[in-house]
Amino acid sequence: MQPCTVTCDIAIQVSRRGRPGVNLTTIDWLIMLLYFAFVLGIGFALKRFMKTSKDYLQAGRSLPAWICGLAFISANLGAQEVIGMGASGAKYGIVTSHFYWIGAIPAMIFVGVFMMPFYYGSKARSVPEFLRLRFDEKTRAWNACSFALMTVFSSGISMYAMARLIQTLHVFDKLFLRLGLPVDWIFHFAIILSAVIVLCYIFLGGLTSAIYNEVLQFFLIVAGFLPLVWVGLKNVGGWDGLKAALPVAYMHSWKGMGSAQTNPLGVDWFALVAGLGFVLSFGYWCTDFLVIQTAMAANSEESARRVPLIAAIPKMFFPFLVILPGLIAIGTPMVTQHVMNHDAAAGVTASNAENLSAGRGLIPAKVDPVTGKVMLDTHGQPVLDYDLAIPNMLLHYFPTGILGLGLTALLASFMSGMAGNVTAFNTVWTFDIYQSYIHKGASDAHYLKMGRWTTVVGILISMGTAYVVLGFNNIMDTLQLVFSIVNAPLFATFLLGMFWKRSTGHAAFIGLASGTVGALLHHGLTIGAGDHPGIHGGWLHVIHTYPSDMALNFWQAIFAFTINFTLTVLISLVTKPRPEKELVGLVYSLTPKPVEHHMAWYARPSNIAIGLIILLVGLNFIFR
């Protein structure tokens, strides 16, 4: 959930460093083309199975748990996540793993064990539809509209980030030069290429196609990044060598968490556990239809419960795949860099050489695009461009051949991030907006058609967003701010809805709306240390300064949740509850508990959950 900012100055800066970009040969292109062929092939192969809107938008509710489980984490594993986590690993160290161990696993266990029976068992076709069944129409409308908008915008951001990265790494430069095309067109080419591929495979095979390709992408990411970690670790002298090359604070996840002043994140343990671990993480993993849609596509309620639990196993070890490369990038000695990049270094000017030495490990310093000088922070230290940690690792350690595989993995992760958003958008639009408010009672064939064509519209809006982001520098930060404000209070509504039969529709709606307004006000009145009032907070008036942006974000979530929770409870107590018989299957205390005794011991969700908790505690203990 850590956003990355692949900004335009990266492109300028990489070219100024004198790095020639990627030197791809036939084998690299072959691997990339093979992947694209398979992605489209899966779409074509699935087309004949898409007969009803349920087949298309809900994958016929027929997929095995392991496929949905891997898609569950892949949907979240867009390249912004991969690049952002690598960047954060390089900047903060192992402490970044909290975004996985605290910020994902407990919520994934909770949604699998406790919430999935209601999502799946209620026969709701989407998360907003569950809100209508449990509460009322207006709560659903609020959630459906805000969610639909956010998904297409996120997909656009993903598209923009991919086009930027392709441009930055000069992937297509040689191809364009050979064809006599202007290099400036590469951005447009990357946008159109990704849009066409994602459009084709979703248009043809719907959610099944998106899920299948997410699984393919999961294995590609592992296949592309595992050798990167292996070679990188070998180069820095193994785990011990890495430890020796990095500051002590980089290797611990809990050290200094007692106070916001003594750890690199600038948050204390309470804000971390309550803000990230509870509100933000549960709000995302337990209510975001982007991930929940994959679990709802499972072939039975038992499978659906297992989906997030199966997903949690690889998720727990993902820090070793995406955060560790960031640490290795910092730990890679400068000497080997110069030896290996001698071809690139041969053409560097004096100022480039200065930029190179201002960096750290494989992370270059940011360069002012106007003056060409290294950018310095308020302490006179060079500002490092951490977003280049993973791309530079790939370029640095991979020879041609496997480099094609690594880049394919990166491209695949961008595309599946987009695809998950697009399928979530077409389901919510078709079922929760179109069928509910625009055209009720049409034939299923009509809704199937609507679902298909919504894919086209969703992709067109994403492309539009990508260009808007290109045109206005601040828009990406603004959109991410809006997402965080809308998402912050959400979990309180679901928690009370599923576990307190007394909560009412009016209360849920007012609570949700007030939580959102509360988050907005909090953002306007507080700021992170060192920021200027504006997009980073304090645009109304600064009444409190947090030690870091992250602390502001976590506390904002805590406030929004508390406002929503308190108001929903208070208003529920003075409004009329729904009769209990209408809430069977929707509320915990009124629904028969799922039975597990007929399953093998290792297949029981509660046993898997216990195993996961033991592993989680173990990992936190080892890397304390």
Map tokens 């990704």 to a residue.
Answer: 194
405 touches other proteins (CB under 8 A) = yes
Task: Output the CA angle 136-281-466, nearest 5 degrees.
Answer: 85
Q: What are phi and psi of 48, to 5 degrees?
A: -70, -15
Candidate list 215, 221, 309, 519; residue touching other proteins; CB under 8 A: 215
What tokens were used for 59?
A: 């994958």
187 touches other proteins (CB under 8 A) = no
b/e burial code for range 553-565 (CB count within 10 A of at least 16 → b): bbbbbbbbbbbbb
What tokens were used for 328?
A: 């290795």
Q: Single out the segment in contact with other proteins by CB under 8 A; choices: 33-41, 111-119, 170-178, 279-287.
A: 33-41
Q: How far apart are CA 210 and CA 198, in angstroms?
A: 9
49 touches other proteins (CB under 8 A) = yes
Minimum CB distance to other proteins smaller for 210 or for 510: 210
Closest CB 39 distance from other proteins, rounded Å: 9
Q: How far apart are CA 7 and CA 89, in angstroms?
A: 19
Candidate list 29, 185, 219, 453; residue touching other proteins; CB under 8 A: 219
Applying the rule CB under 8 A, the residues between 226 and 245 that interact with other proteins are 227, 231, 234-235
Q: Single out the segment in contact with other proteins by CB under 8 A; choices: 34-42, 133-141, 448-456, 492-500.
A: 34-42
Closest CB 65 distance from other proteins, rounded Å: 13
262 touches other proteins (CB under 8 A) = no
Q: What are phi and psi of 53, to 5 degrees?
A: -65, -30
Helix (H) or strand (E) holding 232: helix 186-235
Closest CB 601 distance from other proteins, rounded Å: 23
Minimum CB distance to other proteins smaller for 31 or for 496: 31
447 touches other proteins (CB under 8 A) = no
Q: How far apart are CA 365 and CA 40, in angstroms?
A: 39
Closest CB 403 distance from other proteins, rounded Å: 9
Candidate list 4, 14, 24, 63; residue touching other proteins; CB under 8 A: 63
Q: Is residue 59 within 8 Å of 304, Cβ to Cβ?
A: no
27 touches other proteins (CB under 8 A) = yes
Candidate list 142, 203, 289, 397; residue touching other proteins; CB under 8 A: 397
Binding mask 321-350 for other proteins (x = CB under 8 A): ------------------xx----------
Task: Output the CA angle 504-581-442, nearest 5 degrees.
Answer: 80
Q: Is residue 504 within 8 Å of 229, Cβ to Cβ?
A: no
Q: Could you tell me which of 322, 326, 427 has the C-alpha nearest to residue 73?
A: 322
What are the helix and strand counts (H, E) for the chain? 29, 2
Minimum CB distance to other proteins smaller for 412 or for 450: 412
30 touches other proteins (CB under 8 A) = yes
Minimum CB distance to other proteins smaller for 227 or for 611: 227
What tokens were used for 395?
A: 């370029």
182 touches other proteins (CB under 8 A) = no
What tokens were used for 559?
A: 């406030």
Minimum CB distance to other proteins smaller for 103 or for 364: 364
Candidate list 91, 134, 305, 396; residue touching other proteins; CB under 8 A: 396
With a CB cutoff of 8 Å and minimum separation 6, the contacts of 326 are 85, 86, 87, 88, 89, 90, 91, 96, 386, 389, 390
Candidate list 258, 347, 401, 534; residue touching other proteins; CB under 8 A: 401
Closest CB 599 distance from other proteins, rounded Å: 19
Candidate list 8, 29, 33, 34; residue touching other proteins; CB under 8 A: 34
Closest CB 399 distance from other proteins, rounded Å: 4
Q: How far apart are CA 468 and CA 477, in angstroms?
A: 12
Q: What are phi and psi of 544, to 5 degrees?
A: -150, 140
Q: How far apart are CA 385 and CA 11, in angstroms?
A: 11
**Residue ranges that bind other proteins, judged by CB under 8 A:** 27, 30-31, 34-35, 38, 41-42, 45-46, 49, 59-60, 62-63, 67, 208, 212, 215-216, 219, 223, 227, 231, 234-235, 339-340, 396-402, 405
